[in-house]
């Protein structure tokens, strides 16, 4: 991941700012988008101010998500946007406050590893919310650089989003720690330098053995 490309700018902190939730991915079961829609319904019913954008490629779950939004009458708080270029996606990260990806393991065992979009959101200093599935806990440490909830637990997802929507200080703290985590683990420049150092050490060791 190129941290130079994923560099956040100061975000809107005005009193009139409506917190923005972002999610990105194909509309397939393992992404858990219907759970996010249900959480948005509960947040709206609780009177929370927010807007949620889901950016993704149409797939088998597209009709399900659309029907939920219509059925719950969430058109004013949830928007479905088509897949965009990497440059455009970075602008969505920049304009958001919270990134959510409620991944789950399907009945046939399909699951995500470590979603690229999760690492990108962390690099953009977003407060991320995801689940304890597969490799996600390897980069998201609950309460330290993001929040993790049990998969398929809408109540926990809703409560966590409610907490972050009302606590800008926590969002900032988690976002800063998230970028630091990505810098430590995924920065492409740093990874390249580490591989170069290992290669040079290997060459030096072979040279010494031949002398």
Query: Nearest-CA neighbor of 6 among 194, 175, 197, 196?
Result: 175
Mean pLDDT across the chain: 91
Average pLDDT over residues 130-135: 95
Average pLDDT over residues 80-86: 94
Model confidence band, residue 196 (pLDDT cutoffs 50, 70, 90): low
Q: What is the DSSP letter of 109?
A: -
3-state secondary structure of 5: coil
- In degrees and rounded to multiples of 5, residue 125 shows phi and psi of 60, 35
Instruction: Identify which has the larger pLDDT, 81 or 200.
Output: 81
Query: Nearest-CA neighbor of 69 among 61, 60, 79, 84?
Result: 79
Using CA atoms, how far apart are residues 176 and 122, in angstroms rounded to an integer?
8
Model confidence band, residue 1 (pLDDT cutoffs 50, 70, 90): confident
Average pLDDT over residues 154-176: 98
Most confident by average pLDDT, 56-65, 121-130, 196-205: 121-130
- In degrees and rounded to multiples of 5, residue 110 shows phi and psi of -70, 135
Model confidence band, residue 194 (pLDDT cutoffs 50, 70, 90): low
> 129 has which bridge partners?
100, 147
The pLDDT, as a whole number, for residue 16 is: 87
The pLDDT, as a whole number, for residue 204 is: 58
Percent of the chain with pLDDT over 70: 88
Contact of 93 with 55, CB cutoff 8 Å:
no
Residue 64 has pLDDT above 80, yes or no: yes
DSSP letters, 44-108, are: HHTT---EEEEEE---TTHHHHHHHHHHTT-TTTEEEEE---HHHHHHHHHT-SEEE------TT
Q: Which range among 9-13, 28-32, 95-99 shows the weakest confidence by mean pLDDT? A: 9-13
* Edge-first strand listing for the sheet containing 127-131: 78-82, 51-56, 20-24, 98-100, 127-131, 147-149
Q: 117 to each of 16, 34, 128, 166, 193, how far by Cα in Å?
A: 28, 18, 10, 24, 24
Domains along the chain with CATH numbers: 20-210 (3.40.50.2000)
pTM: 0.87
Residue 72 has pLDDT above 90, yes or no: yes
Average pLDDT over residues 140-157: 98
């Amino acid at each position: 991941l190129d941290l130079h490309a994923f560099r956040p700018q100061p975000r809107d902190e005005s009193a009139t700012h409506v917190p923005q939730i972002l999610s990105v991915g194909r509309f397939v079961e393992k992404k858990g988008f219907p759970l996010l829609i249900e959480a948005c319904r509960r947040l709206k019913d609780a009177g929370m101010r927010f807007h949620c954008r889901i950016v993704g490629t149409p797939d088998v779950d597209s009709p399900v998500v659309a029907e939920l939004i219509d059925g719950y009458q969430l058109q004013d708080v949830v928007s479905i946007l088509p897949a965009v270029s990497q440059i455009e996606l970075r602008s969505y990260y920049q304009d958001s406050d919270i990134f959510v990806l409620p991944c789950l393991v399907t009945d046939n065992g399909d699951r995500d590893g470590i979603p690229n979009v999760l690492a990108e959101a962390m690099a953009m200093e977003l407060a991320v919310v995801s689940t304890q599935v597969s490799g996600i806990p390897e980069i998201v440490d609950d309460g330290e650089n993001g929040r993790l909830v049990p998969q398929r637990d809408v109540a926990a997802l809703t409560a966590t989003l409610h907490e972050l929507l009302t606590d800008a200080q926590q969002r900032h703290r988690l976002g800063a720690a998230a970028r630091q985590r990505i810098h430590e683990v995924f920065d492409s420049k740093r990874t390249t330098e580490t591989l170069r150092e290992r290669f040079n050490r290997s060459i030096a060791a072979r040279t010494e053995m031949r002398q």
